[in-house]
Amino acid sequence: MRKFHLIAALLLAAPIAGCGDSGTESAEHGAEAAAGEYERGPHNGRILRDGDFAIEMTVFEDGVPPEYRLYAYKGDEPVAPATVDAKVTIKRLDGEVTTFAFKPQDDFLRGQGVLVEPHSFDVAVTATEGGQTHKWQFESYEGRVTISDDAAAAAGITTETVGPQQIGETVELIGRVEIDPSGSADVGAKFPGPVVSVHRNVGDSVARGTLLAKVESSYSLQTYSIYAPIAGIITQRNVNVGTIAGESPLFVIANPSRAVAAFPVFPRDMESVRPGQSVQISGLEGRRTQGSQIRDFLPLADMGSQSITARAALPNRDGYWKPGMAVRGVVTIDQREVPLAVRTDAIQQFRDFRVVFAKIGETYEVRMLELGQEGPEWTEVLGGIKPGTVYAADNSYVIKADIEKSGASHDH
């Protein structure tokens, strides 16, 4: 990392207005500003000129939190910092204003305060030397881009507000959908004998009491009817006319609305996963998620994997969850409320920081976060963003791409 850092990205540098008591501007500097560049000083900082007087602005953060350091020149020769009185005021996108005073140290003026990230603001500089006061104003933006609300909506960008949330420590399990044992029935004959008629086939939906077949009893030679004991779908038919009914099921009926998600729990997670814990169930593909709880465990472990099977009820009135479908379960094993949190999916990598993008009007700007506990849905925020800030949630990567494309992500 360089010892001295520029105040703003070159590509976003705006023309710097330099004015003193005479109200004139350096022609040389004006040409540079018009070209979208700015003059750099010996310490790789931004040079602000007014006549033969100049200030070089740097941001220093080698072993210390970021701070302003100013170097004064007259006729391109260094000026003793003790003879200069300087002040820098920054105004951020959200309206926050901070003013930095300076004290002489060695050959520079040291800013009295930390320059908090992001380094994105409008800057006003005042310096008095030899009875002359010099003033400059310029824009110093990074990690900032304007996207109209219509364009954001078209890109699928949504927003959330920073605030308190429940953060959970979780365990992820992979399992499958099964019919709840209480939602299926094996249908057999009351008395052995030949089947004389069959009225339903595999895949037919039946109500409780629907006629399935008729059998002639070998004992009484009387014909009796077999009815569906539950509502559901016929998943197996093991009978045709003439079949001799015995002890084996003639039909199997399953009610797909009464499903469970069955998850193998391996030894490393057995101490963490317990009945009653919340679980978010989703397909391996697609966005549908359904909340449930761990209901129970099967009593026997699998001999090969040594896993035990946890089951969670999966109400399935619309038939979306198909038996045999692979599903993911995120089990919350510990939960607490934190005062500030953001959506985990909203967090992006920006330079060396993990960030979200605050939204003010139609402008989005990076916020460098100090993060705590991370969950699948929410992540705790320890610092870097104010409570109540609106930020980009879904598809925030679109904003990051726009910033990088525009060159508004200057490298520290």
Q: Per residue of the chain (412 residues), what is the pLDDT tens digit?
A: 333 333 333 333 333 334 444 333 332 333 233 334 789 999 999 999 999 999 999 999 999 999 999 999 999 899 999 999 999 999 999 999 999 999 999 999 999 999 999 999 999 999 999 999 999 999 999 999 999 999 999 999 999 999 999 887 889 999 999 999 888 999 999 999 999 999 999 999 999 999 999 999 999 999 999 999 999 999 999 999 999 999 999 999 999 888 999 999 999 999 999 999 989 999 998 778 899 999 999 999 999 999 999 999 999 988 899 989 999 999 988 888 999 999 999 999 998 899 999 999 999 999 999 999 888 789 999 999 999 999 999 999 999 999 988 765 554 3
Q: Which two tokens stand for residue 196?
A: 């004389």
User: DSSP per residue over 90-135, as a string?
Assistant: EE-TTS-EEEEEEEEETTEEEESS--PSP--EEEEEEEEETTEEEE
250-271 in b/e form (b: 16+ CB < 10 A) is: bbbbbbbbbbbbbbbbeeebee
Predicted confidence at residue 5, as pLDDT, reads: 35
Predicted confidence at residue 407, as pLDDT, reads: 66
Token pair 């023309």 is found at 15
- The angle at the Cα of 102, spanning 119 to 123, to the nearest 5 degrees, equals 35
Structural class in CATH, domain 189-248: mainly beta
Alpha carbons 64 and 40: distance in angstroms, whole number: 23
- 145-165+336-406 and 171-179+258-335: identical CATH topology: no
Fold of 145-165+336-406: 2.40.420
Q: Which two tokens stand for residue 320?
A: 């979306």
Alpha carbons 409 and 396: distance in angstroms, whole number: 15
Predicted confidence at residue 22, as pLDDT, reads: 34
Predicted confidence at residue 332, as pLDDT, reads: 86
Largest CA distance in the chain: 125
Q: Which two tokens stand for residue 372?
A: 């705590």
User: Would you list the domain boundaries of the chain?
Assistant: 4-142, 145-165+336-406, 171-179+258-335, 189-248
Alpha carbons 236 and 214: distance in angstroms, whole number: 17
Is the link from the previous residue into 275 a cis peptide, with omega within 30 of 0?
Answer: no
Three-state SS for 363? strand
This prediction's pTM: 0.61
Cα–Cα nearest to 181, from 311, 269, 9, 43: 311
Cα–Cα nearest to 65, from 106, 125, 110: 110
CATH 3.30.390.50 fits 171-179+258-335, yes or no: no
Per the CB < 8 A criterion, the answer to whether 119 and 142 are in contact is: yes
Per the CB < 8 A criterion, the answer to whether 70 and 79 are in contact is: no
Q: How many other CB atoms are there within 10 angstroms of residue 162's CB atom?
A: 23
Predicted confidence at residue 31, as pLDDT, reads: 28
First to last CA, the chain: 7
User: DSSP per residue over 32-73, as a string?
Assistant: HHHTT---B-TTS-EEEEETTEEEEEEEE-SSSS-EEEEEEE
Structural class in CATH, domain 4-142: mainly beta
Alpha carbons 62 and 267: distance in angstroms, whole number: 47
SS3 percent helix, strand, coil of the chain, rounded to 5, is 10, 50, 40
Q: Which two tokens stand for residue 304?
A: 């090969």
Per the CB < 8 A criterion, the answer to whether 8 and 142 are in contact is: yes
Token pair 């009387």 is found at 222
